[in-house]
Amino acid sequence: MFEPVLLKNVEVANGHLLSTYEAGGGYQALRKVLSEYTPDEVVELVKQSNLRGRGGAGFPTGMKWSFVPKGADKPKYLCCNADEGEPGTFKDRIIMERDPHQLIEALAVSGYAIGAETAYVYIRGEYVAAIRRLEQAIAEAHEKGYLGRSVLGTDFNFTVHIHCGAGAYICGEETAMLESLEGKRAQPRLKPPFPAVAGLYASPTVINNVETLACVPHIVTRGAAWFRGIGPDKSPGPKLYCVSGQVRKPGLYELPMGIPLKELVEEHAGGPLPGRKIKAVIPGGVSAPVIPEHALEVGMDFDSLSAAGSMLGSAGVIVVDDSTCMVKVATRIIEFFHHESCGKCTPCREGLNWVVKVLRRIEAGEGAPGDLEQLDMLCKGIFGNTFCALGDGAAMGLRAALKHFREEFVAHIEEGRCPFH
């Protein structure tokens, strides 16, 4: 039987308080690393665990940490990506609202590992409740000596600051986040240099997602072998899946990495609404290409989903049933990317504008012959040609909708109306 660890405190009354967190063994990982491990040993442990980033791209966390140059004269920074803007995703919010100390301990352990004395949590401004909980938790942790000067009486100093975003999805992209933290418009930076070498204020910087960091204390207390023993070898560990849309039991589920999407949706999340059939599932937030019902046996991990032509992304699983028009879903997704495009590069800024216009026309029953070929061409012009992955995500999503549900697009054009309403 799989035992949840990341969500262990989430259902507990007063799970956000330090006393509750400590009663459940909280801050033992921090004590352990400070008394028994060198920073390099913590990095090595995380490497051993095979932990891969939970923010979208799945980059190995230990490896990312090891890119931070040793003994640089500049201060090092840890940035926690709590922007959570990917539609369909709400896992980080729940951790921060219900178990904020889990994140704070994770930040302290990770900060120690990479040699940072300062962490910024970049959290979207809409998350007022989470921001308040984190602020309270930071104050409590300071009082108890888990943060501040000489953490737990050692020579490790560590402070956590909250930096609130203000409603721009692009801030979730790590280099745009750094720009935003520096007080600029959030537009992605050219890489290299990578943040690990020259990030915030041109200092070595590690950027990790909330859930990625939250795994770290558990790896410390339970060991790398425990972590590697859950789910597939190449992307192991417990995983948070956000399930929403047309499904009986939407919610946040902690299950092993790699569980079949079908099992997640049909069993854990209760399956389709009464009288409905599942038509498609978006497995990883709207950037992840849609998967048609017949292909839902795929495992929910980085490699299986990418082999199936999609991606794990943020694990924001959106369920679509047979009452819904896929042209409408695709249009709404592209409208989102178009709205959130930061405007830096032409294929994304102009291309998405064009795509949106064509899609809206098709959905309204005013599609013209040749529109689908034009959409194919536009996807080709956008994919691989944009400055950051936002444009790619949009193009991949549309391509998948055009591929798996082409007949719905064709029906709109041929019938001159949306067959769903």
Partner 1 sequence: MSMREKIEQAAAAYPDQRSAIMPALVIAQKEHGHLPGPVLEEVADILGVERIWVYELATFYTLFHTEPVGRFHLQLCDNVSCMLCGSEDLLTHLETVLKIKKGDTTADGLFTLSTVECLGACEMAPVMQVGDDYHGNLDVARLDALLDSLRAAAGRAAGIEHAPQPLPGG
Ligand X SMILES: Cc1cc2nc3c(=O)[nH]c(=O)nc-3n(C[C@H](O)[C@H](O)[C@H](O)COP(=O)(O)O)c2cc1C
Report residue 271 as tokens: 């399956």
Query: Considering the rule CB under 6 A, would residue 398 count as an interface residue with ligand SF4?
Result: no
Q: Within 10 Å of residue 2's Cβ, how many Cβ atoms?
A: 11
Whose Cβ is closer to ligand SF4: residue 85's or residue 188's? 188
Q: What does the alpha-carbon distance between residue 20 and residue 194 come to, in Å, rounded to a whole number?
A: 39
Q: Which of 420, 416, 407 is nearest to 372 (CA)?
A: 407
Report residue 73 as tokens: 């004269």
Query: Considering the rule CB under 8 A, would residue 167 count as an interface residue with partner 1?
Result: yes
CB 312 within 8 Å of CB 302: yes
Partners of 237 in the β-ladder? none
**In the complex, minimum distance from the CB of residue 314 to ligand SF4, in angstroms, rounded to a whole number:** 17
Which of 209, 244, 304, 386 is close enough to bind ligand X by CB under 6 A?
209
- Rounded to the nearest angstrom, the gap between the alpha carbon of residue 158 and the centroid of all alpha carbons in its chain is 25
Binds 391: which of ligand SF4, ligand X, partner 1, none (CB < 5-8 Å by kind) = ligand SF4
CB 372 within 8 Å of CB 402: yes
Partners of 372 in the β-ladder? none
**In the complex, minimum distance from the CB of residue 356 to ligand X, in angstroms, rounded to a whole number:** 17
- Rounded to the nearest angstrom, the gap between the alpha carbon of residue 330 and the centroid of all alpha carbons in its chain is 21
Which of 78, 108, 219, 282 is close enough to bind partner 1 by CB under 8 A?
282
Binds 53: which of ligand X, ligand SF4, partner 1, none (CB < 5-8 Å by kind) = ligand X
- Rounded to the nearest angstrom, the gap between the alpha carbon of residue 339 and the centroid of all alpha carbons in its chain is 20
Interface map 178-217 toward ligand SF4 (x if CB under 6 A): ----------x-----------------------------
The H or E element that residue 411 is part of is helix 406-415
Whose Cβ is closer to partner 1: residue 54's or residue 64's? 54
Whose Cβ is closer to partner 1: residue 22's or residue 117's? 117
Which spans in 84-203 are helix H?
A: 91-98, 100-114, 128-143, 174-181
Which of 103, 372, 390, 402 is close enough to bind ligand X by CB under 6 A?
390
Site for ligand X in 50-69 (CB under 6 A): 53-57, 59, 61
- Rounded to the nearest angstrom, the gap between the alpha carbon of residue 130 and the centroid of all alpha carbons in its chain is 16
Give the burial class of 405: count Cβ atoms within 10 A of its Cβ; 0-12 exposed, 13-18 middle, 19 or more buried.
Answer: buried
Whose Cβ is closer to ligand SF4: residue 268's or residue 349's? 349
Binds 349: which of partner 1, ligand SF4, ligand X, none (CB < 5-8 Å by kind) = ligand SF4
Partners of 320 in the β-ladder? 280
- Minimal CB distance to ligand SF4: which residue? 348
Question: Which DSSP category does 200 fall into?
Answer: G
Stretch in the footprint of ligand X (CB under 6 A) among 33-41, 84-92, 193-201, 232-240: 84-92
Query: Considering the rule CB under 8 A, would residue 149 count as an interface residue with partner 1?
Result: no
Q: What does the alpha-carbon distance between residue 405 and residue 225 come to, in Å, rounded to a whole number?
A: 43
Whose Cβ is closer to ligand SF4: residue 224's or residue 345's? 345
Dihedral of the alpha carbons of 42, 44, 47, 48, in degrees to the nearest 10: -100
Find the distance separating the first CA and the last CA of the chain, reported in whole Å: 45
Whose Cβ is closer to ligand X: residue 9's or residue 212's? 212
Report residue 160 as tokens: 């956590």
Site for ligand X in 96-155 (CB under 6 A): none
CB 275 within 8 Å of CB 321: no
**In the complex, minimum distance from the CB of residue 192 to ligand SF4, in angstroms, rounded to a whole number:** 16
Total of residues contacting partner 1 (CB under 8 A): 53
Q: At 3, is the secondary structure helix, strand, or coil?
A: coil
Stretch in the footprint of partner 1 (CB under 8 A) among 139-147, 149-157, 180-188, 368-376: 180-188
Residue with tokens 């943060």: 147
**In the complex, minimum distance from the CB of residue 166 to ligand SF4, in angstroms, rounded to a whole number:** 16
Q: What does the alpha-carbon distance between residue 289 and residue 395 come to, in Å, rounded to a whole number?
A: 9
Binds 387: which of partner 1, ligand SF4, ligand X, none (CB < 5-8 Å by kind) = ligand SF4
Whose Cβ is closer to ligand X: residue 85's or residue 237's? 85
Q: Which residues bind partner 1 (CB under 8 A)?
A: 84-90, 92-93, 124-129, 161, 163-169, 180-186, 201, 242-246, 250-252, 282, 286, 316, 318-320, 324, 328-329, 332-333, 336, 339-340
Q: Which residues bind ligand SF4 (CB under 6 A)?
A: 170, 188, 341-345, 348-349, 386-388, 390-391
Q: Which residues bind ligand X (CB under 6 A)?
A: 53-57, 59, 61, 81, 83-86, 170, 172-174, 207-209, 212, 388-390
